Amino acid sequence: MSARIAVTRWSWRLFRREWRSQALVLALLTIAVAATVFGLGSAGAALPPGSAQFGDADYLMTFRGSTPALGTYPATEVINHRKIPVPGSANPVDLRDQSPTGALGRSMLRLDEGRYPATAGEIAVSARTAGLFHLALGATWHEGANTWTVVGLVENPANLLDTFALVPPGQVGSPDRVTVLVRATAAQFAAVHRPDGAEVQPRDSAGTDPAFIVLILATVGLLFVGLLAAAGFTVLAQRRLRALGMLAAIGARHRHLRLVMLANGAVVGGVAALLGGVIGLGAWLLFVPRLETIVQHRIDRFGLPWLPLLLALVLATLTAIAAAWWPARAAARVPVVAALAARPPQPRPAHRFALLGAVLLAAGLTLLAVNNPDRPLIGIGGIVGTAAGVLLLAPLLIAALAPVARACPVAARIALRDLARYRARSGAALAAISMATGIAAAIIIGAGAAQAASPSGGNLPDNELVVWLTPNGIQGPIPQLDAAQTARARSAVSLIAGLVQGGTPIGLTGGISPDARIESADEAGVSGKPVVTFAIPHRVGGDTEYHGDEMIPLLLATPEILQRYGIPAGSIDPETDVLTSHRDLSGYRLIGAGRAAENWQPKVQYEAGLPAYSSDPTTLITEHGLKALGVSPAPVGWLVTAAKELTPAQVDKAEQTARGAGLALSVETRPLAADLSRLRTGATAIGAGVALGVLAMTVGLIRSEAGRDLRTLAANGAGAGTRRRLTAATALALALLGAVLGTAGAYAALIAWYHQNLHALAAVPVEHLTGLIVGLPLVAAAASWLLAGREPAGVARSPLD
């Protein structure tokens, strides 16, 4: 015990004496802990909360029309909805009669200004609704036969893009849709008979539990902390090698030598955990307002996962101690003579780490492929295994630099061989850089995957819009435009395509039956004939009804559309009447075609290349089908594809342009969601910044450890240019290897995670990944070249030995 106390006291003295080198490791650990704390706060906040649709309910039931008789549940709340058309837009405003004091839906409402409506003739609107109709507090809103006074500005705190208007309960009139919020256990819900026509959605399907993401992020963050600490303690162990050799020479045992580094790790880890926790919490509180504008929902600043946060701080200290153990073990095993000579330990063969890394990578990917949100430990094990496997491959890449060095100039050759020679610290640094870029790449790729809808879900992809010639979209009557009106419409569509940075608009042509009667759109004053459409009939009483969301318009298979979806004209049978992406059309009836539809037996050809979104051209009629059915082609709209997902500002400008055309044009887009492109950009910047910080530490330490080489080069006439090239080559090699390894690991993990839904990863975020893989190495090399020109003082003062 006396020996341990003496060694611990000596370790503390070394810490005070070497505060400059300790401050570097301490600062990096503090930043890593702060990033972990900040990430723990951001993890749950970045996900859309389930209360956006469910409030405090467990189930959501949706009915068409009025509310049928409901059974007895523990708690229910009924909300009536009616669509209010928006001029220039095919996306209506939702008028709802939700109570602000409802038992289950109160979390879906928040009053920003004014008050809630209390009587008939009063209404509260969301900010987006107020902008669309140019409303303000005290304004009068005329909509059809209704007149309301705006008494408040409201929002859905769980979805700030929710475009709606609020009236008192019972004031909607004839609802188009009714939602019923139900709070009940699975057994209670199953025991009650549900009315026919109910569409049921359980809350569990609304998204992944944020706590699951928090646990994963905490695990990854602590891995990153350990890697940074290991790299720093490896350098400290090398610097103290002579002192440790002297201690061993006077009788210290291996455990005493290890205790020197372990005590140092405990001090550094404890201080870093405390400082990092305070800095991370402060950064989180400052960033919350900005994050709300990115994720488009309100965030409780102090609703943090406090238990995982405190656990992360404790584990960060333990991680620092564990990170100091491996360098301490290696330094303690160095022979006394070699330690007194300060010779670096012989690097272990890289293939041993690579073999273990391959096994862990395979195990981690397997666990990710079978993950289950109800059993988060499987997912956490998969993340840990994948990350550890990828990181253990880092020494193999470092060892692979030696053959590459032979074909490089002298400065680059020395730099690459130094990386291989000091593999203990360069391998840990490469692992840390890979972790930083891997986390950033996972956020970049995962953000796109989170926004990608299933092929059969939604009306349009998030980067497409359709400009229709009618205010009600394809379901309304199509007006016949003269030449001047057609020119104005085409001009407006071209402006809209320019606003959203889209390509050439593709014209959409429908089929109009000469037997169809002229119809008038509701409250729009537009007359025309309906487009020939497939629809599913529903018998209600003695009448037949068709639901709009089950209608499939027949659009003409023009060469532009076939080219857009990669369908060669030669692959279409000349006798084919209909091309479709739907597997089965047997339950559909053709409407709008008059008497010709009664005896028409179309020949249908399945085309997997056609989209499956409801407002996209999913079903096409060929020229042969037009002649067989006896219908005439007529323009119905234009399809515009943007380079990126549409933002709310772009959609607003597109709708304003459509209204300004002086026609009944309407713009249909996918319902707006949070714009995650800024999240991708932020992840790219933060990941690159952390990687550059690790690079700065590593390159500086490696170049300082290679001081003898610099003195030898200086003695032979090497100047600032050689030093610049040495440092730049070191930074470029580490940054490039780390970015490639981290991105590859992120893609491998996400492919395993989404293996049953790989289409979500189809859209590759080329711009942001290029910034990581190409931009990060170039910035690192340029910064190193600029900052390495000054001659270090030690080169001139230190003798050659």
pLDDT for 489-547, tens place per residue? 899 999 999 988 888 899 999 888 877 777 665 555 567 778 888 888 776 666 676 77
Residue 771 pLDDT grade (very low, low, confident, very high; cuts 50, 70, 90): confident
CB neighbour class for 177 (10 Å; exposed up to 12, middle 13-18, buried from 19): middle
The tokens for 558 are 């023009």
How high is the pLDDT of residue 708? Answer: 61
Residue 137 pLDDT grade (very low, low, confident, very high; cuts 50, 70, 90): very high
The answer to whether 508 and 639 have CB atoms below 8 angstroms apart is yes
How high is the pLDDT of residue 36? Answer: 74
Sign of the C-alpha dihedral, residues 29, 35, 39, 40? positive
Collect contacts of 183-192 with beta carbons under 8 A, ≥24 apart: 183/56, 183/57, 183/58, 183/59, 183/73, 183/74, 183/75, 183/76, 183/103, 183/104, 184/58, 184/59, 184/73, 184/74, 184/75, 185/58, 188/73, 188/74, 189/58, 189/59, 189/73, 192/71, 192/72, 192/73
How high is the pLDDT of residue 801? Answer: 36
> What does pLDDT average to over the chain?
78
Share of the chain above pLDDT 90, in %: 10
Residue 173 pLDDT grade (very low, low, confident, very high; cuts 50, 70, 90): confident
Instruction: Over range 772-787, report the average pLDDT.
Output: 86
How confident is the model over 673-705, as pLDDT tens digits? 655 666 667 767 777 777 777 777 667 666 565
The CA-based diameter of the chain, rounded to the nearest angstrom, is 107
Orientation angle between helical segments 376-392 and 350-369, nearest 10 degrees:
150
Q: Is 50 exceeded by the pLDDT of residue 455?
A: no
- Other residues' Cβ atoms within 10 Å of the Cβ of residue 310: 11
Domain ranges of the chain: 1-48+211-346, 57-206, 384-391+403-453+675-801, 464-669
**What is the three-class DSSP state of 543?**
strand
130-134, 217-221, 236-240, 317-321: which range is least confident on average? 217-221
How high is the pLDDT of residue 800? Answer: 39
How high is the pLDDT of residue 38? Answer: 79
How confident is the model over 203-256, as pLDDT tens digits? 764 444 555 555 566 666 666 666 666 766 776 666 677 777 777 776 677 676
Instruction: Give the CA angle between residues 403, 409, 410 to the nearest 5°.
Output: 95
Q: Which residue has the higher pLDDT, 485 or 678?
A: 485
How high is the pLDDT of residue 795? Answer: 46
Q: Which residue has the higher pLDDT, 238 or 9?
A: 9
How confident is the model over 64-105, as pLDDT tens digits? 877 777 778 888 899 999 988 888 777 889 999 999 988 888
- Other residues' Cβ atoms within 10 Å of the Cβ of residue 81: 17
- Rounded to the nearest 10 degrees, how much is the dihedral formed by the CA atoms of 32, 381, 291, 106? -140
CA nearest to 87, candidates 491, 673, 669, 657: 657
Q: Which residue has the higher pLDDT, 522 or 447?
A: 447
Instruction: Give the CA angle between residues 462, 466, 472 to the nearest 5°.
Output: 115
Q: Which helix (H) or strand (E) holds 82?
A: strand 75-86
The tokens for 78 are 């009924």
CA nearest to 144, candidates 470, 521, 523: 523
How confident is the model over 600-652, as pLDDT tens digits? 788 888 888 898 888 888 899 898 888 888 888 889 899 999 988 888 888 88
**What is the three-class DSSP state of 327?**
helix
Q: Which residue has the higher pLDDT, 191 or 331?
A: 191
How confident is the model over 353-375, as pLDDT tens digits? 677 878 888 888 888 888 765 66
The tokens for 294 are 């990115």
Which residues, in sequence order, are bridge partners of residue 638? 467, 507
137-141, 314-318, 744-748: which range is least confident on average? 314-318
The answer to whether 456 and 616 have CB atoms below 8 angstroms apart is no
How confident is the model over 23-43, as pLDDT tens digits? 666 776 787 778 777 777 776
